[in-house]
A and B are shown apart, each in its own frame.
Chain A
Amino acid sequence: MAGGLKFKPKLVMTLTFWPNRKYWCGKLVILHFSPTATSFPSSPNSLHSCARQRLRRLQKEERISFTLIEMARSLAGFLVLLLVISICEAASLFQPISDSHRSAALELFTSDHGSFKSLEETYEALRTFQILGIEKKPDVTAAACRSISETVGSSSTPKDLFYALKANSIAQCKIHEKASKGIISSLNAAVGGASLLLDFYYSVGGLVLIKDQSSKADIHLADAEGVFRSVKAFSQSDGRWRYSSNNPESSAFAAGIALETLAGIVSLASSELDQSLISTLKNDISKLFDGIEKYDDGTLYFDDKLVDGHEYQGPLSTTSSVLRGLTAFAAATTGNINLPGDKILGLAKFFLGIGVPGDAKDFFYQVDALACLESNRVSVPLILSLSSAVLSLDKKDSLKVRVTTVLGSNAPPLTVKLVGAFSSDSKDASLLESQELKFDQGSGLHILNDLPKSIDVGSYTFVFEVVLQEPEDEKVYVTESQTKVPIFVTGIVKIENSEISILDSDLGSVESQSKLDLGGKNAVSLSANHLQKLRLSFQLTTPRGRAFKPHQAFLKLRHESKVEHIFVVGNSGKQFEIVLNFLGLVEKFFYLSGKYDMELTVGDAAMENSLLVAIGHIELDLPEAPEKAPRPPPQLVDPYSRYGPKAEITHIFRSPEKRPPQELSLAFLGLTILPLLGFLIGLLRLGVNMKNFPTKPVPATFAVLFHVGIGAVLLLYVFFWLKLDLFQTLKAVGFLGVFLVFVGHRTLSHLAAASAKLKSA
């Protein structure tokens, strides 16, 4: 690769990320929330690339805002600017629950012929299907009813009863009178004997559920105030709660559970509870919400400190639990819980920003929390979303905005105003006046049909404002005061007046000039020597008639030997021009003369007609390379030939040694026998006799046995050579040897005695 390309990789990166850069930045946040991870990044520093960009933009914003205050163009612009500075959140896009959630839910909550592994999972699946509006499958309901009746019939722990009753509230299976009486009595006993927070939670929660499900309406807690106080004893001053009086660890997850339990106690109380208890609890809730944590893009969440590995729940379940507790408590008590609306909105953005979780439990937490946000007595958040954040000027796309609740249901009557549009590059005043979007009753969309002339191709931040039409709705619903949405506008960029020419270096006079056809049909054929220059020029104009600087404007020259050189085409305003002075480039081109292919690349994310086109050839005549000239770098071998299969190697076995002809071997075998025959004949000639052989029977047998023994050993050796292995032979030799020694000793001692007798005689 030639020089002058230092910024190519970065530009290519931005090319792929540009279309929804801020959206992708927001998404990068979410990608950290992988379903299998149990801990979130402890600080927003892991998103530091997005944070840095936003910080830089904010700093630039502040600088430019000061200069603009001096030259305030109009009061309206000035006010809008102040509003923008006051809100430090960055632009991001959130979508409410959609059909992709429903199909993901069907995939995640798989059951084995309708039954799940535990009652908890059964309840989670049923609740998720209920919230998303997915039809209940009969086998799921039947299996749920079976496991519920099993749990309810036998004596189970309060935890199992709690989840069974929770599942039953959705599955609506019938419970026998006797069984429900048994449940009520066991749960009442559990409430009386509870000492841990979770014991209270399961028993009180179970009583609330059975009250709704059974025909008996008069289930009351015996000493509601006492139970309330004992649960309240677990609370801490910072708004978090402990699990038990022994364990000093406190968590927000426990706070959510405690709030749910207390809401249950309030609803089960036979008489009004002391209002001071309720108001202290509302203070606790405010303190808990003071400890809420924040991400850069405006999402809020609760998280606990990671102390004990398996007790740690993770931000998703913790926030979901707190929200459940809060909405349950708000539903059970009268009066308002004063929570600022932007906290509810921040929580809604947290859950929506996750997208579609990949884990069933995470999915349940998300959907359950969103269901709490959808309808609660505190405030219902309304989300502004766009179906598409990329608009095309040439296709005349219109800006379509939808305002819904978090689960996608319709919002109350409201108007959406586009109060400003800001270009990402410069932080000047808004590019358009505040205007209201038209509401289309049929589709429920707020539409802006034509983008104003001030919006050209590029990346913008649009600022929307949502105003509720009925004043009573303001007590129920809450919207963001200013929603910033990243919008990317694309269009066809006109490329005009493209021409290529060869100039004489000294005089600057044009030798040959031709118009470039960037459609790629007419290839130009030029020739030049090292004393000349090549000039390429064209003009780029946006659909609105302004100058345009694309991300990529390159001219590539490739030699026949595949050596490439790339040059950046610079610009001034609309005119793009590059002049290649071959005199200075001779060494860079490695003195290679010959035919060079020329290729022009003009590309940008906002250009719908980016092009990469071969414009023709140029025959370059360069001088000869001197001795010390650098050689061109070795070109890449075709990867298929380098990494492809090599020639097959066949193993050459060691050729066997040349053996002598068999006849020769047999002849010598015979020759070897000859000396033996000679020995025997010699013995006969010498006159050997067997006179010394013992005649008496006992020594004779021993003598015979001695000779037999030797013969046996020799035979054994023959077998050893033919068939046996050393160990077998050694074993046999051992036996035969012992025998031979004994026999030989007898024989030889007899012979010795006989010769001694002969000598003395």
Chain B
Amino acid sequence: MGRASSKEDAGALFHSLRSAYAATPLNLKIIDLYVGFAIFTALIQVVYMAIVGSFPFNSFLSGVLSCVGTAVLAVCLRIQVNKENKEFKDLSPERAFADFVLCNLVLHLVIMNFLG
């Protein structure tokens, strides 16, 4: 009884989440997709390291941190661009995007230096 209901609940929860998610604006969905892409790339690198060992450790770190860093910056962008977020009402999305671009460029400069 509980199990069946929990299963149903899980299904209902999943559906409601999905429908709610569909309501999010397009630009936020793009950002979410970007974040997912970055994390997924990081995961593949970790799996590779698990297989072959961490010999050029700096390269591994560089690769993983670039993915994670860009994901973090994208999350920040999402927070700032989200219109429902009252805190950042005064900040224009273009300004947030400019910050995102700049921080990404700096991050990737450091990553390229550390890549070796």
Contacts and interface: CB of A to CB of B under 8 A. Distances in A.
A678 to B, nearest CB: 6
A714 B45 CA distance: 21
A5 interface: no
A749 interface: yes
Interface string A674-691: 111011001100111000
Contact of B52 (A660, A674, A675, A726): A660
Given A671-B44, A686-B33, A748 B109 contact: no
A710 interface: yes
Interface size class of A (residues with CB under 8 A): 35 or more
B105 A675 contact: no
Contact of A660 (B26, B44, B51): B51
B110 to A, nearest CB: 10
Contact of B29 (A674, A686, A714, A721): A686
Given A686-B29, A686-B33, A717-B112, A664 B94 contact: no
A268 B53 CA distance: 111
Q: Is the interface of B mostly helix, strand, loop or mixed?
A: helix
Interface residues of B, number: 31
A68 interface: no
Contact of B112 (A672, A678, A721, A749): A721
Nearest to B104: A710
Given A721-B115, A748-B97, A675 B40 contact: yes
A737 B105 contact: yes
Interface in A639-680: 657-660, 664-665, 668, 671-672, 674-676, 678-679
Contacts, number: 75
Given A657-B55, A683-B33, A733-B109, A675 B97 contact: no
Contacts of A665: 52
Given A675-B40, A688-B26, A682 B33 contact: yes
A748 B95 contact: yes
A729 interface: yes
Contacts of B51: 660, 664
B58 interface: no
A659 B48 CA distance: 12
B76 to A, nearest CB: 17
B19 interface: no
Interface in B23-39: 26, 29-30, 33-34, 36-38
Interface of A: 657-660, 664-665, 668, 671-672, 674-676, 678-679, 682-683, 686-688, 710, 713-714, 717, 720-721, 726, 729, 733, 737, 744-745, 748-749, 751-752, 755
Given A658-B55, A687-B26, A714-B108, 16 more contacts: A660-B53, A664-B51, A668-B44, A671-B44, A671-B48, A676-B41, A682-B33, A686-B33, A688-B30, A710-B101, A713-B105, A717-B112, A720-B109, A721-B112, A726-B113, A748-B95
